[in-house]
Amino acid sequence: MPDETFATATHKPLLATVMGERQPRPPMWIMRQAGRYLPEYLDVREKAGSFLDLCYTPELASEVTLQPLKRFDLDAAILFSDILVIPDALGQPVRFEKGTGPILEPIGADDISDLSPEKVLDKLSPVFETIDRVKSALDPEKTMIGFCGAPWTVATYMIGGRGSTDQAAARQFAYEHPEAFSALMDVLVEASARYLVAQFKAGADVVQIFESWALNLDEDAFTAQVIEPNARIVARVRQEIPDAPIIGFPRGAAGMVARYAKATGVTALGLDHSMPLTFADSALVPSMPVQGNLDPLRLVAGGEQMISRAGAIIDGFAGRPHIFNLGHGIVPQTPIAHVAALVEFVKSGHWR
């Protein structure tokens, strides 16, 4: 469990912000901050062999988790892992191919009864060791973030066998096989909740639910496949970890963002970079902490346009608790110097 109660963890600025306390300047971290834009990561990745071997080797996974904090004065470490460790732990093999990404054997309606959430924690025990190692190495003011993929997002990979731009295979499966799809979501809700509870017990201060593929759903499907499963995970986690701080990141929520925030009960809300600042600020209750939302390609380009937009984001959320971040994950071609410049700007206060 975290070292202190969540409500009194005010010496961790990012955790305190998640819990609703505005800070003199927004704390920051960067989605996918440990990864392919860092040469030191690539060295460890080569040493590990496969990507999943890296995720499941605590010594190496903790090393890459901490790498960005050795370069930049970020306010949090986020566990180095992947959202697809859940299907892997459920018994659906996952492999990562260079230049292609994750590959799974697509699951069918008749396969879902073979999935058992009871087995996931044993398979994922190395992840909890990684969290413990990282937490022990972090400075006291730094926040430890854990995460999981949301059930809909994970299901799109399990059904489609790989990532896609429109998630058509999973969307069609959900329409044509509603009972089987509901059973799959039940498995993923329970497995994900158990996984997050175990992360808290291993030392995570806060967790994030990545709903990365919500952008192609109509409002009915968004309610059924995003809001309801996310709400069930939040409630299930808080049965065991009362007041657990949870960031929801429903990428592509658009006009559904306020409904998502209210209905799921997440503590803070991650915003993608397509979300207008004025809309988000007016749609959400003033007490709701937000996270985001610089376009990752602005970070690639760097320069004045990056700094100007970062300042606009900070100003746009000045009236509420705000964690500065990107609107999606950092991309491999990002220059390290641009990351350093962004961190320096956010932490300098020159945007005031």
Cα 338 to Cα 86, 306, 333, 335: the distances in Å are: 33, 9, 11, 5
Which residue in the list 82, 88, 272, 295 is annotated as catalytic? Answer: 82
In one letter, which amino acid is 327?
A: G
Catalytic site residue 37? no
From the list 56, 157, 195, 260, the catalytic residue is 157
CB 317 within 8 A of CB 281: yes
Burial zone of 216 (CB within 10 Å; 0-12 exposed, 13-18 middle, 19+ buried): middle
Q: Report how far residue 149's alpha carbon sits from residue 24's, in angstroms, rounded to the nearest whole number.
A: 31
CB 142 within 8 A of CB 77: yes
Q: Which of 263, 314, 259, 311 has its CA nearest to residue 291? A: 314
Q: Is 82 a catalytic residue?
A: yes
Catalytic member of 32, 171, 194, 320: 32
Per annotation, catalytic residue among 41, 45, 133, 320: 45
d(Cα 67, Cα 65) in Å, to the nearest integer? 6
Query: What does the buried/exposed string (b/e) look like for 153-166 if buried means 16 or more CB atoms within 10 Å of the residue's CB?
Result: bbbbbbbbbebeee
How far apart, in whole angstroms, are the C-alpha atoms of residue 293 and residue 310?
9
| Catalytic-labelled residue, pool 25, 36, 95, 238 | 36
Cβ atoms of 55 and 281 within 8 Å: the answer is no
Q: Catalytic site residues? A: 32, 36, 45, 82, 157
